[in-house]
Structures are given as C-alpha cells and as structure tokens.
Amino acid sequence: MDNIMQNLSAHPMIIIVIIFIGLLIVYFLFKQLLKLALLFLMILLAIGGYFYFKDPDKMPRNMMETLEKAKTETGKAVEKGKEAYSKGKAIAEKGKKITEGMDNLLIGKDKKTDKTMDQGNKGPK
C-alpha cells in the first residue's frame, strides 16, 4: 500500500488519468439519467413560464400554495412509512418468537426420541 501511494505521489499524471477515466465512467453510466433530468427540467420551466405569462400576479401565490401542499403530503407519506415500518418490525419480532418456539419444540422432540432410542439400544445382547 505504501508503495502504491509513493508511486502515485511521484507521478501525479497517473492520478489525473485515473480521475478522468472515473469521470468518463460516471458520465456514461448516468448519461441517460442526465438527459431525462434535463428534459424534465425544460418541461417544468416551459409549464412554469406559460402560467407566469398567463397571469403573473397569481403565479407566486399559486407556487407557495403548491409548495405547502407538497410539504403536507410529504409529511403524511413519511408518517405512513413510519407506521408501516413499525408494523413490519413487530411482525418480524413475532415471527422470530414463533420460529424460536418451533425450534425449541423440535429440539425437545429430538431429545425425547434420542432418549427412547438410547433405552432401546440398552436391551439384552
């Protein structure tokens, strides 16, 4: 590891090439996602521009109402998610208890059958 660090510090051009290759990989991986995001942004800007030019006085008020509505709906969704998580956690705990109970029952039966088998093997020879 020290040898690699010394080699990289002695040759900074290698670091630049590695960073460039990493950026190219990230670019090609997210190229489609970037195009989609830019298209979505352009559509939002076009819709916002249309409504702004249609009625410039109402636009800020409508935007604030929409943002407040989004905040409340997001809060409700988070609360529902928390409830679902807690219910799922409770169900998982019940499942663990049931599994442990079944394991104990099976282990208990195995011990009993081992004892009866041991007693059966102690018969006359």
CB 15 within 8 A of CB 8: yes
Reported as a single tens digit per residue, the pLDDT across 29-55 is 888 888 888 899 999 889 888 877 887
CB 7 within 8 A of CB 14: yes
List all residues 6 or more positions away from 8 whose beta carbon is below 8 Å from its beta carbon: 14, 15
CB 95 within 8 A of CB 84: no
Q: Is the pLDDT of residue 107 over 90?
A: no
Residue where the block lists tokens 């409770």: 90
Domain limits, the chain: 1-54, 58-115
pTM for the model stands at 0.37
Q: Which two tokens stand for residue 68?
A: 């407040």
Reported as a single tens digit per residue, the pLDDT across 58-89 is 777 777 888 899 899 999 999 999 999 999 99
Three-state secondary structure call for residue 58: coil
